[in-house]
Amino acid sequence: MLGAIVGLLIVLIIIAITILIIYNVIRKKITKTIGHQNMKEIVNAAKNIQDEEYTREKNVSGMTSLLEPEILRDFPEFNKELLFSTVERQLRKIFNTLESKSLNTLQNDSESILILPKIREQVEDMKSTNTSVKYDDVIFHRHAIKKYFKSVGVATVETSTTLEYYYYNSNINNNNLKKQTRYTCEFVYIYDETKFDKNQNIFTIRCPNCGATIRGLKNQTCEYCMTKVHPINLKLWKMSSYKEDYK
């Protein structure tokens, strides 16, 4: 009788241990699954936040109402709407050039003479990394004057522009999203050539053919490649730089 009871207890203990082992195995699998699910949910939530920010219309940055009267005092012919339309036209040229990876349309474009070196650098970088981009359905939203100042014979106006487009980059995964972004562009007007020629450190004027520095506004021949350079008229507001400041 005693032996039967002991045998029964041993069987019950073995069953209990087996159940405990099975329970622990199942619990670990459930915990692991839930952990993966939670991690996946966190990753998805972070991506959704990133996508929402990517597609959210950005705010323009500027003080047009304060700066425009100051500019008009110095340059009565200044027209902010004309400047803003130039921003749109120039950015479209830049996008088209980056898409084609060809500078042919800008080589003799007097509007783009000051930004040509930067565009050339971008195109060369894209070619070296075998990168392709596209800017589809470009729509401009708002413009503002961000800064205005004068130095060594040069007046500078900085603008802020918000826009959207469907952006494709061969090295980026989120290519199907409409991108909302913002660009800062700088325009210069040389009102005193003598001061500028003596202190030419604000920006560099380069040969549209070889990219070499052109010394002086009145030089008509590149010293390096001997290309004839048309006299540069900077008694106009010309774009001297651009950058996407909300990526």
Q: Distance between CA 94 and CA 115 in Å, rounded? A: 9
pTM comes to 0.69
Shared domain for 167 and 208, answered yes or no, is yes
Residues 239 and 90 sit within 8 Å (Cβ to Cβ):
yes
Shared domain for 77 and 103, answered yes or no, is yes
The residue from 55, 71, 88 where one domain ends is 55
Shared domain for 152 and 31, answered yes or no, is no
Whether 237 shows a pLDDT value over 80: the answer reads: yes
Residues 211-235 have a mean pLDDT of 60
Shared domain for 188 and 221, answered yes or no, is yes
Shared domain for 48 and 105, answered yes or no, is no
For residue 223, which amino acid is it?
A: E
Q: Distance between CA 78 and CA 72 in Å, rounded? A: 6
CA 149 to chain centre: 24
Shared domain for 27 and 121, answered yes or no, is no
Residues 25 and 146 sit within 8 Å (Cβ to Cβ):
no
Q: Distance between CA 168 and CA 174 in Å, rounded? A: 8
> What phi and psi values does residue 200 have, to the nearest 5 degrees?
-80, 70
- Per-residue model confidence as pLDDT tens digits over 138-167: 999 999 999 999 988 889 999 999 999 999
Residues 11-22 have a mean pLDDT of 73
Shared domain for 39 and 74, answered yes or no, is no
Q: Distance between CA 112 and CA 89 in Å, rounded? A: 11
Q: Distance between CA 97 and CA 117 in Å, rounded? A: 13
Q: Distance between CA 7 and CA 89 in Å, rounded? A: 93
The whole domain housing 17 covers: 1-55
Whether 102 shows a pLDDT value over 90: the answer reads: yes
Whether 211 shows a pLDDT value over 80: the answer reads: no
> When comparing pLDDT for 23 and 80, which is higher?
80
Shared domain for 119 and 72, answered yes or no, is yes
Number of domains in the chain: 2
Q: Distance between CA 184 and CA 188 in Å, rounded? A: 14
Shared domain for 75 and 9, answered yes or no, is no
pLDDT of residue 171: 85
Average pLDDT, the chain: 79
